[in-house]
Structure 1
Amino acid sequence: MNDPPKQRKDDPKEAPPFRTHRIHAINSEWYFLTRAGQNIGPFPNKKAAEESLAEFLETVKRMSKQRLIIHKVAIERATKHRAS
């Protein structure tokens, strides 16, 4: 079970760090939109929203890698005990 992470067929192979259409203003306050459709904000300006989005995406990426490592270790341990 060492399959690479799944990717939807319509996802680009190399995603940009963030997409500008994820940044938007509502009543002069800035927000970014998550993939799940949740507005995050408000931020005082567009630059702050862009920086927060970049940080958010980096955190999500780091957490995804950690989950994959934990899953791999759990499988290795389960397999080891099964073979014993």
Structure 2
Amino acid sequence: DAWAKLSAEQQKVLQDAAAFMEGLCDEDMKVNETEKKRQADAGIETISFEGAEGEAYIKQAYEAGWAEFIKANPETGPKLKELLSK
């Protein structure tokens, strides 16, 4: 178990980083809800992709995102994608 091999200090750094990132996610969700309301009030309709259509959209978005990341980081991008895509 890789986690058990880390020192308490290393584990704390990772836990703190995870908590920080979770906080950003919560903040982003609040901003998204505020923006949806603002746009709805302006007459802009929100659309959602669900089921197979949603899965295809997400897959395409990830592929495009990784392609741009790898283009910008050709030496480390492919390995990072491999490590994070397992």
Larger relative contact order (Cα-Cα within 8 Å, sequence gap ≥ 6):
1
TM-score where L is the length of structure 1: 0.45
TM-score where L is the length of structure 2: 0.44
Return the structure number with greater strand share: 1
Return the structure number with greater helix share: 2
